[in-house]
Structure 1
Amino acid sequence: MKIEMKSVRKLRVHWPVASETFSRLAKGDADAFRDEAGIAALLQALSESPDLGDFGNYRHVFESGLGFEGFTCAEGAKPTLGQVGQRTISPTLVLTTYFDALLDDIAVERFLQRIVDIHPWEVPVIELTGPLSVSCTALPAVFESASAS
């Protein structure tokens, strides 16, 4: 089997979720993605950005994981959750997607700004990597030898 690699950048967005949504997701209830307005908005932003999660025949590809974010708000913060000087722990969905490493900076800035605009937190956690490789196609050896003829 031949595996083709594609040069991409990884985008990870940490998104706070309600405890009930966290529990539903942990139990495997995929409807929670649709039912929580914030997650639905994030997935809508993903689907409106054709460059995000493009794997040829598969579009809007993403992965998600559940966890917790912890933080302490400093003076001057205007937190959505928690209080200044107090440690806060928030149930969190982490959404990961990929885009072509050659995508121009203007397009990248456009979808990053879209995420910042809809994110409920004053300072959202958004990770953006440099180029890395991911598998994009796995072709059986039969097809490889047939195409070489």
Structure 2
Amino acid sequence: MKIEMKAVRKLRVHWPIASETLARLSKGDADALKDEAGIAALLQALSESPDLGDFGNYRHVFESGVGFEGFTCAEGANPTLGQVGQRTISPTFVFTTYFDALLDEATVERFLQRIIDIHPWEVPVIELTGPITVSSTALPAFSESGAAR
């Protein structure tokens, strides 16, 4: 097999979820995502952005993980969860997708702004990498005669 590689950028977003959603997801209940309004909005934003998660014959590709996010709110914060000076631990859904490294910055900015607009945190954790390389397809390798090896 010949593996084709593609230059992409990775977008990762940390999103708070309810404890019940975390429990359902950790048991393999993917339907829990449909019941979590914030995650449903995030997945809707993904489906409305054709450049995100584009892997040829596969669209809207994303990866996820669940865990916990910890923080302490400082003076001046207006937290959605927790209180100023208090250490808070929040169940978290970590969403990762990819887009072509050559995608114009205006399009990237629009999607980032959309995430900020729908994210419940005052300061969302959004990671955006520079170009990295990922496999995009696996094709049979052909010899010079055109026959598959």
Q: TM-score range by the shorter chain?
A: over 0.9
Q: What residue in structure 1 maps to residue 123 of structure 2?
A: 123
2:117 equivalent to 1:145: no
Aligned residue runs from structure 1 range 1-149, under 5 A: 1-141=1-141, 144-145=142-143, 148=146
In the alignment, residue 114 of structure 1 is paired with which amino acid? R
TM-score between both structures, scaled by the size of structure 1:
0.96
In the alignment, residue 41 of structure 1 is paired with which amino acid? A
- Identity within the alignment, %: 85
CA shift, 1:67, in A, is 1.1
Describe the shift of the 1:146–1:32 C-alpha distance in structure 2 as closer, same or farther (beyond 3 A).
farther
C-alpha distance in 2, partners of 1:88/1:132?
A: 33
Structure 2 unpaired stretches of 5+: none
Structure 1 unpaired stretches of 5+: none
C-alpha distance in 2, partners of 1:45/1:129?
A: 19
C-alpha distance in 1, partners of 2:76/2:108?
A: 30
Write 1 or 2 for the structure with the bigger share of helix. Answer: 1
C-alpha distance in 2, partners of 1:36/1:67?
A: 15
C-alpha distance in 2, partners of 1:19/1:6?
A: 37
Task: Describe the SS at the equivalent of 1:75.
Answer: coil
C-alpha distance in 1, partners of 2:51/2:139?
A: 24
Task: Describe the SS at the equivalent of 2:66.
Answer: strand
State the Cα RMSD in Å: 1.3
C-alpha distance in 2, partners of 1:146/1:108?
A: 41
CA shift, 1:146, in A, is 7.7
In the alignment, residue 34 of structure 2 is paired with which amino acid? R
Task: Describe the SS at the equivalent of 1:107.
Answer: helix
Task: Describe the SS at the equivalent of 2:46.
Answer: helix
CA shift, 1:145, in A, is 3.2
C-alpha distance in 2, partners of 1:132/1:101?
A: 8
CA shift, 1:147, in A, is 8.2
Aligned length: 147
C-alpha distance in 2, partners of 1:126/1:21?
A: 21
